[in-house]
């Protein structure tokens, strides 16, 4: 990695690690495109890896050897389809991945110029089985119509943290003296309502987070040195320590803000990935979020008329992400696991069910720079988020409801209740039940179709 590449303006934004284009897209990315600090490769993994390693934040050196297990599990046409239409939709430089008739050669390290050679299966008949710990619906035994999720392990991942952490994560706003809206508490609430619905359909339900507390044992103070190094490396030679106030326009340039983000985003999500991959071993992870549009001052937020829905699956890697050795490896590993073949139809089924229940229109990203529309429902995008990339199984990432829309805000404030209530002149179900019911219904439909025979 050269200095020049590090400071190329496009390298300064890792939009894919921000889940809310609409919140962060305006503030952070615009700022960072010009000032370049949030950036992000570093280097300083746990002290052991060489400083020159071309690795994402808090990432670890890729183990390319494990991909040997995927030799001849995929044909040339299947591989190029996934590369062109899902993972590398913004193009792929020849020096990183080269594809010929019989194999793909993938650069393993920007420094050493090593290459991993993946041999294709000559045709579908001679394909070797894909090694994986999770089970696609097709591989599960038939199920009774009232238990279409029987035997399935589903992990629920309520996005963000709750309680006192919500302000730090900037997932907190308050209108007047009403109850503050905190995304991490809302997502936990929905997850706890979704769990019994899925169990009733036969699933084993696991929680990636089931309290308001972080799963990572680290705290922001653990990242102060790393935060300072990142800032210095990215053109802030003497970074300020503290944020002046929540609207401080230069807050991203402070050690305080950066170390908090290293804690609640990078450390927290990487820790969740360890839990998912080495302890929970689910067949599917459902990530639950509420969306938002920029609300300005969190103590005096802007409420808007816009409200929408979308779901995400992993894909649509940016050039700058592919340049990092660990992300390139993680992308190829994910591609070869064929998680996409399973997560896309699940996301479509859940999207259709949620659209029907909520009546929300599909979100249209203001830019196609970070996302690619996929599937058939019109609500699903491929995007490279930390969670969708690192959890090694199909992941469906739900983004319904704009929390600071007038409608969603009123429904959140109304809390949970039986039957319906009039909200802004319309009889509505509780927003929490609507969310939980519609996700469960989408999963019921998908697994019923495959395991209980069509039309049941
Ligand atoms: Zn979220």
Specify the pLDDT at position 244. Answer: 78
pLDDT higher than threshold 50 for residue 162: yes
Q: How far is the CA of 158 from the centre of ligand 1 (A)?
A: 9
With a pLDDT cut of 90, the percent of the chain lying above it is 80
Which of residues 99 and 17 earns the better pLDDT score? 99
> What gap in Å lies between CA 45 and CA 61, rounded to an integer?
9
Specify the pLDDT at position 225. Answer: 95
Specify the pLDDT at position 208. Answer: 98
Q: How far is the CA of 426 from the centre of ligand 1 (A)?
A: 26
Mean pLDDT of the 422-445 span: 97
Listed range (172-181, 214-223, 246-255, 341-350) with the worst mean pLDDT? 246-255
Q: How far is the CA of 171 from the centre of ligand 1 (A)?
A: 8
Of 454, 393, 32, nearest to 230 by C-alpha is 32
Q: Where are the domains of the chain?
A: 137-215+263-451
Mean pLDDT of the 58-87 span: 97
- The overall longest dimension of the chain from CA atoms, in Å, is 66
pLDDT higher than threshold 50 for residue 43: no
Q: How far is the CA of 422 from the centre of ligand 1 (A)?
A: 27
pLDDT in tens, 374-408: 999 999 999 999 999 999 999 999 999 999 999 99
Can you list the positions of beta strands (E) in 336-408?
372-373, 380-382, 395-400
With a pLDDT cut of 70, the percent of the chain lying above it is 88
With b for 16 or more beta-carbon neighbours within 10 A and e for fewer, the 131-145 pattern comes to: ebebbbbeebeebee
Q: How far is the CA of 363 from the centre of ligand 1 (A)?
A: 15
pLDDT higher than threshold 70 for residue 32: no
Mean pLDDT of the 144-169 span: 96
Specify the pLDDT at position 99. Answer: 96
pLDDT higher than threshold 80 for residue 352: yes
At the fourth CATH level, the homologous superfamily of domain 137-215+263-451 is Zn-dependent exopeptidases (3.40.630.40)
Q: How far is the CA of 117 from the centre of ligand 1 (A)?
A: 37
User: How far is residue 187 from each of residues 2, 151, 290, 392, 403, measured CA to CA in Å?
Assistant: 41, 25, 7, 22, 12
Q: Kindly report the length of the chain.
A: 456
Q: How far is the CA of 69 from the centre of ligand 1 (A)?
A: 35
pLDDT higher than threshold 90 for residue 65: yes
Q: How far is the CA of 160 from the centre of ligand 1 (A)?
A: 6
> What gap in Å lies between CA 224 and CA 216, rounded to an integer?
16
Q: How far is the CA of 186 from the centre of ligand 1 (A)?
A: 10
Confidence of residue 421 (pLDDT cuts 50, 70, 90): very high
Phi (first) and psi of residue 181, to 5 degrees: -95, 120
pLDDT higher than threshold 80 for residue 194: yes
> What gap in Å lies between CA 5 and CA 10, rounded to an integer?
9
Q: How far is the CA of 309 from the centre of ligand 1 (A)?
A: 13
Q: How far is the CA of 50 from the centre of ligand 1 (A)?
A: 34
Q: How far is the CA of 400 from the centre of ligand 1 (A)?
A: 10
Q: How far is the CA of 291 from the centre of ligand 1 (A)?
A: 6
Q: How far is the CA of 19 from the centre of ligand 1 (A)?
A: 6
Listed range (31-35, 257-261, 382-386) with the worst mean pLDDT? 31-35
pLDDT higher than threshold 60 for residue 24: no
pLDDT higher than threshold 80 for residue 411: yes
User: How far is residue 52 from each of residues 43, 45, 116, 227, 262, measured CA to CA in Å?
Assistant: 6, 11, 20, 18, 20
pLDDT higher than threshold 80 for residue 173: yes
The three-state secondary structure class of 160 is coil
Specify the pLDDT at position 401. Answer: 98
Q: How far is the CA of 288 from the centre of ligand 1 (A)?
A: 8
Q: How far is the CA of 375 from the centre of ligand 1 (A)?
A: 22
pLDDT higher than threshold 90 for residue 456: no
Listed range (71-80, 109-118, 122-131, 429-438) with the worst mean pLDDT? 109-118
Which of residues 81 and 42 earns the better pLDDT score? 81
Q: How far is the CA of 304 from the centre of ligand 1 (A)?
A: 18
Q: How far is the CA of 168 from the centre of ligand 1 (A)?
A: 14
Specify the pLDDT at position 454. Answer: 53
Confidence of residue 20 (pLDDT cuts 50, 70, 90): very low
| C-beta of residue 223 within 8 angstroms of C-beta of residue 254 | no
> What gap in Å lies between CA 316 and CA 91, rounded to an integer?
9
Q: How far is the CA of 97 from the centre of ligand 1 (A)?
A: 32
Q: How far is the CA of 66 from the centre of ligand 1 (A)?
A: 32
Specify the pLDDT at position 52. Answer: 53
Specify the pLDDT at position 234. Answer: 87
pLDDT higher than threshold 70 for residue 103: yes
pLDDT in tens, 44-59: 333 333 345 799 999 9
Q: How far is the CA of 136 from the centre of ligand 1 (A)?
A: 27
The three-state secondary structure class of 383 is coil
Q: Give the gyration radius of the chain's Cα atoms.
A: 22
Q: How far is the CA of 389 from the centre of ligand 1 (A)?
A: 16
The token duo for 30 is: 């615009």
The token duo for 388 is: 């969708």
Q: How far is the CA of 352 from the centre of ligand 1 (A)?
A: 20
């Amino acid at each position: 990695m050269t200095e020049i590449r590090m400071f190329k303006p496009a390298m300064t934004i890792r939009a894919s690690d921000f889940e809310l284009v609409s919140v962060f897209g305006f503030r952070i990315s615009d700022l960072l495109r010009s000032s370049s600090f949030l950036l992000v490769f570093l280097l300083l993994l746990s002290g052991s890896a060489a400083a020159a390693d071309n690795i994402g934040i808090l990432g670890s050196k890729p183990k390319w050897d494990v991909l040997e297990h995927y030799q001849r599990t995929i044909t040339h046409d299947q591989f190029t389809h996934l590369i062109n239409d899902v993972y590398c939709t913004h193009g792929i430089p020849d020096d990183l991945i080269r594809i010929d008739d019989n194999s793909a050669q993938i650069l393993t390290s920007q420094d050493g110029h090593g290459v991993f050679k993946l041999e294709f299966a000559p045709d579908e008949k001679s394909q070797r089985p894909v090694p994986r710990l999770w089970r696609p619906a097709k591989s599960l035994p038939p199920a009774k119509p009232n238990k279409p999720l029987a035997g399935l392990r589903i992990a629920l991942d309520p996005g963000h943290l709750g309680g006192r952490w919500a302000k730090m994560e900037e997932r907190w706003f308050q209108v007047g003296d009403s109850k503050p809206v905190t995304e991490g508490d809302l997502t936990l609430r929905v997850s706890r309502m979704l769990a019994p619905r899925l169990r009733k359909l036969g699933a084993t339900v696991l929680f990636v987070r089931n309290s308001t507390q972080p799963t990572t044992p680290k705290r922001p103070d653990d990242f102060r040195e790393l935060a300072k190094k990142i800032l210095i490396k990215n053109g802030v030679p003497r970074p300020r320590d503290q944020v002046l106030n929540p609207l401080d326009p230069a807050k991203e340039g402070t050690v305080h803000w950066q170390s908090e983000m290293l804690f609640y985003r990078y450390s927290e999500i990487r820790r969740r990935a360890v839990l998912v991959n080495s302890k929970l071993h689910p067949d599917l992870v459902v990530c639950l979020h509420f969306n938002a549009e920029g609300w300005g001052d969190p103590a005096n937020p802007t409420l808007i008329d816009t409200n929408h829905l979308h779901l995400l699956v992993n894909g649509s890697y940016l050039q700058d992400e592919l340049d990092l050795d660990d992300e390139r490896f993680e992308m190829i590993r994910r591609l070869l696991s064929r998680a996409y073949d399973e997560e896309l139809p699940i996301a479509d089924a859940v999207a259709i069910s949620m659209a029907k229940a909520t009546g929300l229109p599909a979100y249209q990203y203001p830019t196609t720079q970070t996302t690619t529309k996929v599937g058939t429902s019109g609500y699903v995008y491929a995007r490279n988020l930390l969670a969708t990339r690192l959890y090694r199984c199909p992941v469906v990432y739900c983004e319904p409801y704009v929390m600071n829309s007038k409608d969603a805000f009123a429904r959140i404030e109304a809390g949970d209740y039986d039957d319906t209530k009039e909200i802004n002149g319309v009889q509505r179900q509780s927003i929490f039940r609507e969310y939980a019911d519609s996700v469960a219904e989408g999963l019921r439909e998908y697994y019923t179709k495959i395991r209980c025979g069509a039309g049941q």
